[in-house]
Amino acid sequence: MNAPAFNENLHLLNGNHAVAWGVRLAKPDVAPLYPITPQTPILEKLIDFQSKNEFDAELLTPESEHSAMAAAIAASATGARVFTATSSQGLLLMHELLHYASGARTPMVLFNVNRTPGAPWGFWPDQIDSLSQRDTGWIQFYSENPQESLDTVIQAFRISEAANLPVMINHDAFYVSHSIEPVNLPSAEVVDGFLPRIPREFQLGDDSGRSLGAPLDQAGWNLTRQDMDVAMQGVERLTAAAGGDWAKLTGRPAAPLELYRCEDAEVVFVTMGSMCGNAREAVDRLRENGIAAGLLKVRLFRPLPAEALREALAGVPCAIVLDRNYSPGTGGVLHQELKAVLFGIETPPRLHGMLAGVGGVNVPVETIEKLAAEYRNAAPSAQPIWVE
Amino acid sequence: MLEIVILGRGGQGAQTAGNQLAQALFAKGYFVQTFSTYGGARRGTPVTSSLRVATRPIRQRCNITQASALLCFDDSLLDETFLRQGKDDALVVVNSARPSEALGGLGNRRIIPVDGKAVARRNNMGKVVNSALLGAFAACLGKPDLDTMCQIIEATAPVKKQENVAACREAFGLLTQASEGVG
């Protein structure tokens, strides 16, 4: 875990304010934003910074999230560094333009606070809002804690601008977004050095008379997706490089995947976001009681680090996926992705899919411990299991 | 790890109190994590603030179900559902003019009343009880020390800084003899 050491640079911040600090340090030129619970503290903090002349991005507050994303795409197309943030219904309203942003190859960073979509109405941590956007061509990260959210915002601008693909970072409502805890703020000099301005290969408004997104024939359209595929394939390497450089500057590593106590593990939990914290605690307690448990944390979800996942899980006797989301008709999204990734490898784990925490219900550490005891020697089911 | 749950009614300042307590413990070198229930919260409905305190980074991201200490802003909220969020031997501090025996317990939980409203009134704070309750709670917990708690209250109270600090000091003094530390 990229937890900070106790020192004088630590500040007590909630997860959303940590994001706002990351944005302030990354110095975007334009930030179109529309408020929505539980994202709003990000917007409020940026406005607070701006009122004190500490943040000079052009803040746009249009009439909807759809318009915010349209403004973000247009701004990025002119070469501006762009940030936006939303949650749940807001992200879903952006859906059409999420495809447009990746197709137009406009780099930007979007921070999404994972929240249940209606109906019924709710405000609870659940990742189906962003996971249901997995096919829109956005790079997706899932963050475990406020420190990681701040660090990932800064790294994401570098990754996005290098790949010419938009990045969506996600953290869970309340357990991360509103959790106040010590966060280490990097200095402006460190971030400036880490995040240089890279001139874009193409940008509108430079008097060269270009257009963006004009109609293409079938073959031309097909080529845009082949180009995107090449760019996506480079993202895992870019993420590892950005995380490696960040670790050198701050001491906090940030890899696409994290393996926690997986060496010799007989059972490995696989999960994303805030659930990783509880799973770490469960792993330690299980090991104290003689069960060799481990955690495989998926930080980069799109592109899915397929080879690395196969390597991490090959030969592991049992893997238990903890999905804080539910895709009706199939089950947990991460479970589904892992089944696909592990298909055909020689020594796959027995893979169990647990719907744990759907709708934001509490998943205490003890519940995760019990899953290991109950399922580590059980035959896997193709169906997901609802965890009480 | 010390786990604390604070329960109040929306608008009473339970969430603010949780944040101030976290800041004071952080100032003393503890890792802290505090979060609130949210969403349906509005003035008058029950609101909880949860707080974890440890000497190493805190990893759990789940509700607190076995708190070592509970602080209740309103004795009308002191029911079994709330008390069950604490361990059997949890320390419970409750804002009440009634004596301990009248409050009814559960298990071996030690229920300590503090008349926050009377302390607030004596210090020109009207019905605003959060600084008084923080003083009482810190005395019972054995941390943070009174000066640190008062510094944070002074730095963060939006109005009536000196009155808030005085209420905190008076309640801390009232509870100091009557209590022993936990955690």
Instruction: Give the CATH number of the domain where residue B55 resides.
Output: 3.40.920.10
Cα gap A153→A125, rounded to integer Å: 20
Q: Which of A225, A184, A186 is nearest to A5 (CA)?
A: A184
> Last residue of a domain, which of A226, A248, A270?
A248
Residue of A nearest to B64 (CA): A364
Q: Can you give the pLDDT at residue B40?
A: 58
Q: Could you tell me how many CB contacts below 8 A there are between chain A and chain B? A: 75
Residues 35-54 of B with CB under 8 A from A: 35-40
Nearest residue to A38 via CA among A179, A145, A167: A179
B61 and A6 within 8 Å at the Cβ level: the answer is: no
Comparing CA positions, the residue from A333, A319, A322, A330 lying closest to residue A357 is A322
3-state secondary structure of A50: helix
Q: What local confidence, expressed as pLDDT, does residue B12 receive? A: 87
Shared domain check, A331 and A192 = no
Contact: B34, A179; criterion CB under 8 Å: yes
Query: Do A162 and A287 have their domain in common?
Result: no
Q: Name chain B contacts of A174, Cβ cutoff 8 Å.
A: 35-38
Distance from CA of A300 to the nearest CA of B (A): 20
- CA–CA gap between residue A207 and residue A209 (Å, rounded): 6
- Mean of pLDDT values over B55-72: 95
Residue B113 neighbours by CB under 8 Å, 6+ apart: B75, B93, B94, B95, B96, B97, B98, B99, B100, B103
Query: Residue B105 above 50 pLDDT?
Result: yes
- Is A157 part of a structural domain of the chain? yes
Would you state the pLDDT for residue A42? 98
Chain A closest CA to B35's CA: distance in Å?
5
| Residues contacting A99, CB < 8 A, separation 6+ | A136, A137
Residues A112, A191 within the same domain: yes
Q: How many domains does chain B have?
A: 1
Q: Is the dihedral of CA A304, A308, A313, A314 positive or negative?
A: positive
**Residue A1's pLDDT is what?**
57
Pairing of strands B110-114, B67-72: unpaired
- CB distance from B33 to chain A under 8 Å? yes
Contact check, Cβ <8 Å, A176/B65: no
Tell me phi and psi for residue A169, to 5 degrees: -110, 140
With respect to residue A27, please indicate whether it lies within any of the assigned structural domains. yes
Residue B183 lies in a domain: no
8 A C-beta contact, residue A149 and residue A15: yes
Chain A residues whose beta carbon lies within 8 Å of the beta carbon of residue B54: none
Spatial distance between the Cα atoms of A110 and A256, rounded to a whole number of angstroms: 18
Residues from chain B that touch A183, judged by Cβ atoms under 8 A, are: none
Count of structural domains, chain A: 2
Stretch B76-96: mean pLDDT: 93
Domain boundary among A248, A279, A298: A248
Nearest-CA distance from A19 to chain B in Å? 17
pLDDT value for B181 = 47
Judge if A232 and A301 occupy the same domain.
no
CB atoms B26 and A3 under 8 Å? no
Query: Is B131 an interface residue toward A (CB < 8 Å)?
Result: no
The domain that holds A58 is classified in CATH as: 3.40.50.970
**One domain, residues A243 and A275:** no
> What pLDDT score was predicted for residue B157?
94
Which tokens belong to A59?
């803040």
Give, as one character, the DSSP assignment of residue A82: B
**Best of A148, A180, A252 to mutate (most B CBs within 10 Å, chain B):** A180
**So what's the pLDDT on residue B74?**
93
Any domain includes A326: yes
Say if residue A266 is in the same domain as residue A240: no
Could you give the angle at which helices B161-176 and B130-141 cross, rounded to 10 degrees?
A: 40
CATH number at residue A348: 3.40.50.920
User: What distances in angstroms separate CA B68 from CA B16, B65, B107, B109, one per listed residue?
Assistant: 20, 10, 13, 10
Q: What confidence score (pLDDT) does residue B39 get?
A: 54
Q: Residue A212: is it exposed, middle or buried by C-beta count within 10 angstroms (0-12/13-18/19+)?
A: middle
Do A237 and A270 share a domain, yes or no? no
The residue type at A146 = P
Residues in a beta bridge with B114: B95
Residues ≥6 apart with Cβ < 8 Å to A81: A26, A27, A28, A29, A30, A157, A161, A197
Residue B183's pLDDT band (cuts 50, 70, 90): very low
User: Do the Cβ atoms of A12 and B58 come within 8 Å?
Assistant: no
Range of the domain at A90: 10-248
For helices A95-103 and A65-77, angle between their N-to-C axes, nearest 10 degrees: 10
From A228, A248, A268, give the residue that closes a domain: A248
Please tell me whether residues A370 and A229 are part of one structural domain.
Answer: no
| Closest Cβ opposite residue A365 in set B29, B57, B62 | B62
CA dist., res. A357 & res. A303, Å (int): 24
Quote the CA–CA distance of A80 and A161 in Å, as a whole number.
10
- Test B22 with A180 for CB contact under 8 angstroms: yes
Using CA atoms, how far apart are residues A234 and A153, in angstroms rounded to an integer? Answer: 19
User: Does B21 have pLDDT greater than 60?
Assistant: yes
* Rounded-to-integer distance, Cα A353 and Cα A356, Å: 9
User: In this structure, are A168 and A28 located in the same domain?
Assistant: yes
User: Could you list the pLDDT tens digit for every one of the 388 residues in chain A?
Assistant: 566 667 778 999 999 999 999 999 999 999 999 999 999 999 999 999 999 999 999 999 999 999 999 999 999 999 999 999 999 999 999 999 999 999 999 999 999 999 999 999 999 999 999 999 999 999 999 999 999 999 999 999 999 999 999 999 999 999 999 999 999 999 999 999 999 998 888 888 877 788 888 999 999 999 999 999 999 999 999 999 999 999 999 999 999 999 999 999 999 999 999 999 999 999 999 999 999 999 999 999 999 999 999 999 999 999 999 999 999 999 999 999 999 999 999 999 999 999 999 999 999 999 999 999 999 999 998 899 999 8
Range of the domain at B165: 2-176
Compute CA distances A102 → A93, A96, A164, B64, whole Å: 16, 11, 8, 41
Whether the per-residue pLDDT at B99 is higher than 70: the answer is yes
Q: Which residues of B touch A180 (CB under 8 A)?
A: 19, 22, 32-35
Q: Would residue A2 count as lying in a domain? A: no
Q: Are residues A321 and A199 in the same domain?
A: no
Contact criterion met (CB < 8 Å) for A280 and B65: no
Q: Is residue B181 part of a domain?
A: no
Distance between A175 CA and the closest CA of chain B, angstroms: 6
A267 in the same domain as A240: no
Whether the predicted pLDDT of B3 surpasses 70: yes
| A202 and A107 assigned to the same domain | yes
Lowest-confidence pick of A209-213, A307-311, B140-144, B150-154: A209-213
Neighbours of A209 (CB within 10 A): 6
